[in-house]
Amino acid sequence: MQGADQNTTAFGHTVAELEGAELRIGIVQARFNAAITDRLAQSCLDELMLLGVAGKHIEHISVPGALEVPLALQALALQEKFDALIALGCIVRGETYHFELVANESGAGVTRVGLDHEIPIANAILTVENEAQAWARADEKGRGAARVAVEMANLLEDLS
């Protein structure tokens, strides 16, 4: 769609502006697979800055693993000072059913916190077959989480 308005979809729907100057963002990062989640976090933080979110308006905390992310998100949501939250983690498939348990439960928990507290949560908890897949996705997923958080925070503000 050459020449199309960058703020509308092919169906003419408006896309919320990616302007984060006035937003307060909370980030919860799982430390398990730390090298990968550190890359996710750095990409996310870099993108938030590019979108205008002030460093002083970002609270970045860490938890042991993906299963602990929803509880920390809930604690941040209860503070009622954030416009959006971001979940960062990496779950790599192993030889047991544990992968499915952690992936399903962490994802459901993140979704439940967002719905229960009416706050957008960008879920960038990677679920991958191997570390190579995680590394291949880390930068883009970190940046994407920042964009989703800013867009959804602005959208919910526009809808209220």
| Cα–Cα distance for residue pair 71/61, rounded to 1 Å | 12
What is the edge-to-edge ordering of all strands in the sheet holding 58-63?
A: 58-63, 25-30, 84-92, 121-128
Residue 158 backbone zone (phi > 0: left; psi -120 to 50: alpha; other: beta): alpha
Q: Which of 57, 60, 98, 117 is catalytic?
A: 98
43: its two tokens: 């990409």
Q: Which of 48, 40, 114, 46 is nearest to 76 (CA)?
A: 114
Q: H/E element holding 29? A: strand 25-30
57 catalytic residue (yes or no):
no
| Cα–Cα distance for residue pair 152/126, rounded to 1 Å | 20
61: its two tokens: 């905390």
Catalytic (active-site) positions: 98
